């Protein structure tokens, strides 16, 4: 399964990247599964992906909850609470 992953604002800075193409080989059925896999990359990733009550996510540009299913080709975005307006 191939995913396009985007990171915004403070998350982009904490993780040192704004996007990546990820080919997932282990079973990743939901957003939660993806977050667990990314969290295993190291301390900065764990801080963002597993110990972060303020983490927000979107799948294909729609806000998504942790149990939302993922499909091949999805665009997944991670970001902090919004502060526009």
Partner 1 sequence: MAVSVQQADFHIDQVLDELAAGRRDVGAVAVFIGKVRDINSGDDVSTLTLEHYPGMTEKSIEKIVTEAEQRWALMDSTVIHRVGELQPTDNIVLVAVASAHRGDAFQACEFIMDYLKTRAPFWKKEQTADGERWVEARNSDKKAAQRW
Q: Which is nearer to partner 1, 38 or 76 (CB)?
A: 76
DSSP tag of 81: P
Q: What is the contact mask toward partner 1 in residues 9 to 28, using x (rule: CB under 8 A)?
A: xx------------------
Provide, rounded to whole angstroms, the least separation between the CB of residue 33 and partner 1.
22
Q: How far apart are alpha carbons 48 and 19 in whole angstroms?
A: 15
Q: Is 83 in the site for partner 1 (CB under 8 A)?
A: yes
Residues 53-82 that bind partner 1 (CB under 8 A): 54, 58, 61-63, 77, 79-82
Q: How far apart are alpha carbons 46 and 39 in whole angstroms?
A: 4
Q: Which of 78, 79, 74, 77 is nearest to 23 (CA)?
A: 74
- Cα dihedral 65, 37, 28, 8, rounded to 10, equals 50
Which residues of the chain form contacts with partner 1 (CB under 8 A)?
6, 8-10, 54, 58, 61-63, 77, 79-85
């Amino acid at each position: 399964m191939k995913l396009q992953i985007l990171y915004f604002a403070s998350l982009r800075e904490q993780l040192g990247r704004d996007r990546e193409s990820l080919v997932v080989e282990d079973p990743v059925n939901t957003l939660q599964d993806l977050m667990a896999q990314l969290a295993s990359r190291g301390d900065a990733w764990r801080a963002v992906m597993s110990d972060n009550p303020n983490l927000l996510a979107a799948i294909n540009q729609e806000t998504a909850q942790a149990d939302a299913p993922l499909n091949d080709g999805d665009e997944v975005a991670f970001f902090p609470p919004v502060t526009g307006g």
